[in-house]
A and B are shown apart, each in its own frame.
Chain A
Amino acid sequence: MSDGVAGALQVALLVAALLAAQGPLGAWIARSVSSTRHLGAERVVYRLAGVDPDADMRWAVYARSVLVFSAVSVLALFALQRLQAALPLSVGLPGVEPATAWNTAVSFVTNTNWQSYSGESAMGHLVQAAGLAVQNFLSAAVGVCVAIALVRGFTRSRTDRLGSFWADLVRVVVRVLLPLSLVAAVVMLLGGVVQNLSAPTTVTTLTGGTQTLVGGPVASQEAIKELGTNGGGFYNANSAHPFEGPSAWVSLLQVFLLLVVPFSMPAALGRLVGDRRQGRLLLAVMGGLWLLAVTAVTWAETTGAGLVPQAAGASVEGKETRFGEALSALFAASTTATSTGAVNSFHDSYTAAGGGVLMLSMMLGEVTPGGVGSGLYGMLVLTVLAVFLAGLMVGRTPELLGKKIGPQQMVLVALNVLAMPALLLVGAAVTAGVPALVDASVQDAGPHGLSEVLYAYASAANNNGSAFAGFGAATTYQNTALGVVMLLGRFVPLVLVLALAGSLARQSAVPAGAGTLSTRSPVFGALLAVVVVVVAGLTFVPALALAPLAEALS
């Protein structure tokens, strides 16, 4: 079988599995968050924590709970890293220095998992399992909570209540993420992903050299790292490391895991609003744009244009033999289209065109299908924008799912759409414009150097976490600045979305009339896809032209 056919069938296999899984998983998520019963385990959690799972919250209270919970999480994770040396299972590693600890704490709490450290030489088993992996669960669950709160804005009428953050958070963890992670971790363990608490052991190799084998609780962390669209690797080499990604089928399973919850959220929406066609339309838009990115990156990497790929004969620098170009490109396009940021190959060495598409995928705002929860709320914000534009074009009152889109909603949507590009472009411009910062962090000269800076800030502002890893992120300035960008990139849109949810829930539902524009038709789907691409395109084309495009054409 030719490489191209095998690559296409590999994508077809993945698409079939995702299509089969998204309906039932979406229904299960919808049922979990709208259940009226508390499970025994959940009651124990509520009692120990002293929170009221039945507290129906106003949007501001919901937002405050998310913010305080996240702030407490940042502080706790910061402290855990600083105190590492004094805690058990540190395998001899010292405490993490403050700038890195701050960056890492923010990174994991914001679901970014940008890593300015190298896992095997910085983080002991306790910090990895009880600190970083715990935030992998919680930050993903927070994303789902906010998405569900926004959906409640559409389904509820004439109320100022959006549900209980405590119940939403605990249910998403206990009923959805934990059971799925447990199954995924065991399957990956059987596939060869490591899971132990050993200290590093040195062996004499076959040819008489030495090699130090580094184990750890990897499988348990790997499962939620993909499922929660987190992406922070146990090891520096992330899922390219054979102890994280031992074989091609395990790597494909990881691609499935990082896509499955984001692609199930439209089905959950469909169930919750009682309009499954609306869910399928969003799924089609997300899936179509993802498939385009996969195709473009696969084409770029298998064709292998550029100075070095041409000289070597293929674009395989930074890629593993067992995965090859096609599975590497599939992983790369999927990890950037879902704010995951895990990698099974290293994007800095991708062809200019391939790397450019990966960057653009993030710049779309992580909605194709985006992160766990954050993908759906990001897409719903763009859907409101599309409804508004369509309303202007045909002269109809903009309505979505029975709610009128008025000036107040549009202000919140506009702020939301502007927040990420502002953070990305201002952050990148400061680094690119200050020679001292360029010297300290940028590895490659010319357009590729600018790509490294743009990629870093696109990754941080969109909470992706992957990198053109030649970029030296471990400086005090970059640790601090990227930390701030990650924090604002996560919580500014999140609070605006909750405010939008609050404003929608207060309205009474308008029954669909003859003048209502259908938001379930293929025409609207096409318009939505255009809005997603054009909003990002107009914002980022100048920057992209100077970086990956210039490199591809040179």
Chain B
Amino acid sequence: MPARATAPLRLAGACLRLLLVMTLLLGVAYPGAVLLVGRLVPERADGSPVRVDGRVVGSALLGQSVPEGPEGDAWFHPRPSAAGDGYDPLSSGASNLGPSSPELLALVEERRARVAEREGVDPALVPADALTASGSGLDPHVSPAYAALQVPRVARERGLPEDEVRAMVDDATTGRWLGVVGQPAVEVLALNVAVEEAADPAVVR
């Protein structure tokens, strides 16, 4: 083969070899090193599992569905979710409906009516996060306002004093980091575990 024809092939060969070496370094050694560090903090590396009675019931980082209707009334409800049928980590994501979407507007009004009826409050009192789906569809939090709205119902269903449930909400609330970063939020799964423990002393975390 004449020299001019082999030059591009030689270049491609060199590029391929460089890519393979880089893949070993960046695609095997680097993630491998981080995996090893992860074994030092397995709870973190494995998605912060939450255990009840020694059984994993979910992740502290992920929200979970709570059934609508009477069987869900004993629990704090999370935000609406656009992930699959709700809180499905196999299809995380948002509704992606636009700010003037009639479909989204209808959803908001439907959710407002449902939440107001469930909590027995004036529809105007339902906070925005109870009416909208999050970005991930797995939002583990609700706003302090939405949690406060649910306290009377959960206390009633569980036979617990409202003050005690309100204290549990406070325990499950994280403020802003350094007082400025992010937004105060209430972790729903932790709260529901606390409620379950208080209502049924046989349950151990």
Residues of chain A lying within 8 A (CB to CB) of residue B167: none
Interface residues on B, range: 35 or more
Contact A206 B34 (CB under 8 A): no
Contact B30 A348 (CB under 8 A): no
Query: A316 touches which one: B28, B129, B140, B181 (CB < 8 A)?
Result: B129
Tell me, rounded to whole Å, the shortest Cβ–Cβ distance linking A111 to chain B: 15
Contact A129 B183 (CB under 8 A): no
Contact A219 B56 (CB under 8 A): no
Mark B67-86 against chain A: 1 for CB-CB distance below 8 A, else 0.
10000100100010001000
Query: B27 touches which one: A73, A133, A307 (CB < 8 A)?
Result: A133
Residues of chain B lying within 8 A (CB to CB) of residue A319: 132, 134-135
Residues of chain B lying within 8 A (CB to CB) of residue A45: 18, 21-22, 25
Task: Tell me, yes or no, whether B89 is within 8 Å of chain A by CB.
Answer: yes
Contact A345 B35 (CB under 8 A): no
Q: Which of A322-340 touch B at CB < 8 Å?
A: 322-328
Binds B, one of A235-243, A259-267, A382-390: A235-243
Task: Tell me, yes or no, whether A185 is within 8 Å of chain B by CB.
Answer: yes
Residues of chain A lying within 8 A (CB to CB) of residue B174: 247, 322
Task: Tell me, yes or no, whether A154 is within 8 Å of chain B by CB.
Answer: no
Residues of chain A lying within 8 A (CB to CB) of residue B19: 69, 72-73, 76, 134, 138
Task: Tell me, yes or no, whether B105 is within 8 Å of chain A by CB.
Answer: yes
Tell me, rounded to whole Å, the shortest Cβ–Cβ distance linking A54 to chain B: 14
Contact B182 A322 (CB under 8 A): yes
A118 in contact with B93 given A51-B18, A241-B138, A446-B100 (CB within 8 Å): yes
Give the complex CA separation of A219 and B22 in angstroms.
19
Contact B94 A120 (CB under 8 A): no
Task: Tell me, yes or no, whether A344 is within 8 Å of chain B by CB.
Answer: yes
Residues of chain A lying within 8 A (CB to CB) of residue B105: 307-308, 311
Give the complex CA separation of A225 and B109 in angstroms.
38
Give the complex CA separation of A194 and B92 in angstroms.
15
Q: Which residue of A lies closest to B37 (CB)?
A: A186
Contact B91 A121 (CB under 8 A): yes
Contact A219 B75 (CB under 8 A): no
Task: Tell me, yes or no, whether A546 is within 8 Å of chain B by CB.
Answer: no
Binds A, one of B41-49, B149-157, B158-166: B41-49
Tell me, rounded to whole Å, the shortest Cβ–Cβ distance linking B151 to chain A: 17
Mark A200-212 against chain B: 1 for CB-CB distance below 8 A, else 0.
1001111101011
Task: Tell me, yes or no, whether A462 is within 8 Å of chain B by CB.
Answer: no
Mark A208-234 against chain B: 1 for CB-CB distance below 8 A, else 0.
010111110101110010000000000
A189 in contact with B79 given A51-B18, A242-B61 (CB within 8 Å): no
Query: B109 touches which one: A311, A314, A348, A554 (CB < 8 A)?
Result: A311
Contact A6 B30 (CB under 8 A): no
Contact A443 B96 (CB under 8 A): yes
Contact B179 A6 (CB under 8 A): yes
Contact A469 B27 (CB under 8 A): no
Give the complex CA separation of A418 and B29 in angstroms.
42
Query: A69 touches which one: B18, B90, B100, B131 (CB < 8 A)?
Result: B18
Give the complex CA separation of A235 and B26 in angstroms.
20
Give the complex CA separation of A522 and B87 in angstroms.
52
Residues of chain A lying within 8 A (CB to CB) of residue B12: 68, 71-72
Task: Tell me, yes or no, whether A130 is within 8 Å of chain B by CB.
Answer: yes
Residues of chain A lying within 8 A (CB to CB) of residue B180: 1, 6, 9-10, 13
Give the complex CA separation of A321 and B196 in angstroms.
24
Task: Tell me, yes or no, whether A366 is within 8 Å of chain B by CB.
Answer: no
Task: Tell me, yes or no, whether B201 is within 8 Å of chain A by CB.
Answer: no
Contact B62 A211 (CB under 8 A): yes
Residues of chain B lying within 8 A (CB to CB) of residue A324: 182-183
Contact B183 A198 (CB under 8 A): no
Q: Which of A368-400 touch B at CB < 8 Å?
A: none
Query: B28 touches which one: A130, A178, A182, A221 (CB < 8 A)?
Result: A130
Query: B58 touches which one: A64, A211, A251, A322 (CB < 8 A)?
Result: A211
Mark A344-371 against chain B: 1 for CB-CB distance below 8 A, else 0.
1110111110010000000000000000
Tell me, rounded to whole Å, the shortest Cβ–Cβ distance linking B40 to chain A: 9
Task: Tell me, yes or no, whether A78 is within 8 Å of chain B by CB.
Answer: no
Residues of chain A lying within 8 A (CB to CB) of residue B67: 207, 209
Ranked nearest first, the 9 interchain pairs of A and B with the lowest CB-CB distance are: A248-B182, A324-B183, A240-B135, A130-B27, A237-B92, A470-B96, A346-B94, A306-B99, A314-B128
23 A-B contacts (beta carbon < 8 Å): A48-B21, A50-B13, A65-B15, A71-B15, A130-B28, A134-B22, A173-B26, A189-B37, A196-B35, A206-B192, A224-B26, A237-B137, A307-B100, A307-B105, A308-B105, A317-B95, A323-B183, A345-B135, A346-B93, A348-B94, A348-B96, A349-B104, A448-B99
Q: Which residues of B contact A (CB under 8 A)?
A: 8, 11-23, 25-28, 30-31, 33-35, 37-38, 41, 44-49, 52, 55-59, 61-62, 64-67, 72, 75, 79, 83, 87-101, 104-105, 108-109, 127-129, 131-143, 174, 176-183, 185, 189, 192-193, 196
